[in-house]
Amino acid sequence: MNAKQEKSLSRIKEELELFDPIIPLLEMDPSPASALQVPILKNLCTQHRRTIECVETGEPFIGSTYTNPAEILTAMDVHWYFPIQQMFSGPAGEGTSHAAEDLEGLDKMALPGDSCTFMRLELYYQSQGLMPIPTAYLALTEPCDATAGVHAALMHHPDWRDTPCFAPDPPYHNNDKAIDYYAGEMRRMVDFISKHTGKTLDMNRLKEVVEETNKCYTMWMEYNEIRRSTPTPHSYIMPMSCFFQTNTAGAGGNPEITNWYEKMVADAERRVTENDPEVPNQKIRLLWYDIQPFYFGEIAPWLEQEWGAVIAMDMVSYCPYELIDTSTEDNIFRGLAKRSYQHGPMVHQARGSMDNVMTDITRIVKDYNMDCVIFPGHMGHKDMAASASLMAEVCRNLGVPFLHIGLDQADRRYTPVDEIKNKLSNFFTAMGLG
């Protein structure tokens, strides 16, 4: 390994050093919450080790992004990592030494500050050589201009310019023509992966993997149903993990992950049946309608403890995943296409028309018996900012209070946590909640 490769792994190695010792401690803790955390951390550590191994040995591996089908990569037995993973050792891993350092480094870059900080950080990590350069890269051109733009910039970096890149092109429409087109993109993606890794796709293996992820999605949807209960069974930490469990490396099609979902559903069911919610004295049920800020660890527990306010549903969890029909090859690719370009968080809400925003908020408020809707309003979400007035209108019609905060999910300096808490407190008080 040369010095560049060594540096590109440094954050991953730091994260391993952080998580590795925690796993045995959690394993000793008899609480159900700890038992549920263990597989998540184990999976993360295994993936990091695989990335290190690939860089060290020269084994082909892929850089990919969050809506590209984990099923295809798993079935082709190709290792991959998310370049944005670095954030979880940086600003996302609040408390690590890098949070402030990375944001200050970012300030010095020639990047307009009004564009999504999350994506700008990705370029910062690249500029610092903190991302392992993959054999090939699967980019993403949805759900927003920032995601698409960052991939173009990423691939232009001198160190990455020779890395082959495939960017599936998500259409705007949801009709059959569009699904067929995107299914074609998925097939072209398979060809691309084969060409650059030498791995081939066995359709029987893909079917098997999809059937396994179908089980995960079934469990996840069941879990969402249980969250309708009052009081809601879990603190917010648990549901936050669902999406990443189906989409990260090592998770798609892994029976251990299915098992994790089953345990989580069982624990939620038990808590509902025995009236044993993780958060006692629940007073406010709220819908958090945006992604979670990196520093949510300071907000979600505060909401629960200070106000008895639980996030009974959130935007990332409320996605219309459908099970994929595995009866034919065509159906599998069409199903993966829909899952990939229509269903994932942000993609579902931001890529197409804003009708999904209206219908989702309406259904969630009614089905989950919400007391209020919070729109954090990440500064990168230009389409969501443009939808805020409509969200407010929908909430007015439903007779449910609505708060638009305005924050930066990656940079707490934009709206300090205390200010966010003040806004929330004032809102709860003014609306007579809590």
Partner 1 sequence: MDTRINSKALKRFTEVADSVVNPEITKWKNEGGKILGYFCSYMPEELATAAEFLPVRLRATGSSGTEFSDSFLSNLNCSYPRNAFNMALQGEYDFIDGLIAFNSCDHIRRVYDYWKREVKTPFIKILSLPKKAEAAQVEWFRSELVDLTKGLEEHFGVTISDDDLRAAIRIHNETRRLLTELYELRKADNPVITGAEVLAVTVASTAMPKSIYNELLKELLEDLKQAEGINDHRARLMIIGPEMDDPEYIRAIEDQGCLVVADSLCYGSRLFWGEVKEDIADPYTALAQYYIADRPSSPGVYTEYESRAQFIRNMIDEYNVDGAILARLTFCETWAFEQYSMVQDFEEWNIPLLSIDREYMLSGVGQLRTRVQAFLETMEN
Residues that bind partner 1 (CB under 8 A): 109-112, 114-116, 119, 123, 139, 141, 144-146, 148-153, 155-156, 165, 167, 169-173, 177-178, 181, 184-185, 188, 350, 352-355, 379-380, 382-383, 385-390
Beta strands in 294-417 (DSSP E): 309-314, 372-375, 402-404
Looking at the chain, how many residues does it have?
Answer: 434
Query: Cβ distance 33 to 107 under 8 Å?
Result: no
Which does residue 346 bind out of partner 1, ligand SF4, none, counting CB within 5 to 8 angstroms by kind? ligand SF4
- Our CA dihedral for 245, 81, 42, 56, rounded to 10 degrees, sits at 170
**Residue (119 or 189) nearer to ligand SF4, CB:** 119
Q: Which of 61, 80, 81, 118 binds ligand SF4 (CB under 6 A)?
A: 118
Q: Which of 147, 246, 254, 349 binds ligand SF4 (CB under 6 A)?
A: 147
d(CA 157, CA 138): 16
Which does residue 177 bind out of ligand SF4, partner 1, none, counting CB within 5 to 8 angstroms by kind? partner 1
Within residues 121-140, the interface with ligand SF4 by CB under 6 A covers none
Q: Which of 123, 133, 146, 279 binds ligand SF4 (CB under 6 A)?
A: 146
How many CA atoms, within 13 angstroms, populate the side-chain half-sphere of residue 241?
A: 19
Cis peptide bond upstream of 277, omega within 30:
no
Which does residue 118 bind out of ligand SF4, partner 1, none, counting CB within 5 to 8 angstroms by kind? ligand SF4
Collapsing DSSP to helix, strand or coil, 371 comes out as: coil
Compute φ and ψ for 166, nearest 5 degrees: -125, 125
Beta carbon of residue 271, minimum distance to ligand SF4 (angstroms, whole number) = 31
Contact between 315 and ligand SF4 per CB under 6 A:
no
Contact between 170 and ligand SF4 per CB under 6 A:
no
Cα distance between the two ends of the chain? 57
**Residue (291 or 372) nearer to ligand SF4, CB:** 291
Q: Which of 78, 103, 116, 312 binds ligand SF4 (CB under 6 A)?
A: 116
Compute φ and ψ for 165, nearest 5 degrees: -130, 140
Beta strands in 93-213 (DSSP E): 136-138, 165-166
**Residue (119 or 324) nearer to ligand SF4, CB:** 119
Q: Around Cβ 430, how many Cβ atoms within 10 Å?
A: 10
Q: By CB under 6 A, which span of 102-110, 142-150, 249-257, 386-394 interacts with ligand SF4?
A: 142-150
**Residue (79 or 378) nearer to ligand SF4, CB:** 378
**Residue (111 or 299) nearer to partner 1, CB:** 111
d(CA 324, CA 186): 15
Q: Around Cβ 432, how many Cβ atoms within 10 Å?
A: 8
Please name the helix (run of DSSP H) or strand (run of DSSP E) that holds residue 63, with its range, or none.
strand 61-63
**Residue (109 or 430) nearer to partner 1, CB:** 109
Within residues 362-391, the interface with ligand SF4 by CB under 6 A covers 378, 380-381
Q: By CB under 6 A, which span of 23-31, 87-95, 143-151, 241-249 interacts with ligand SF4?
A: 143-151
**Residue (184 or 434) nearer to partner 1, CB:** 184
Helices (H), 108-175: 117-127, 145-156
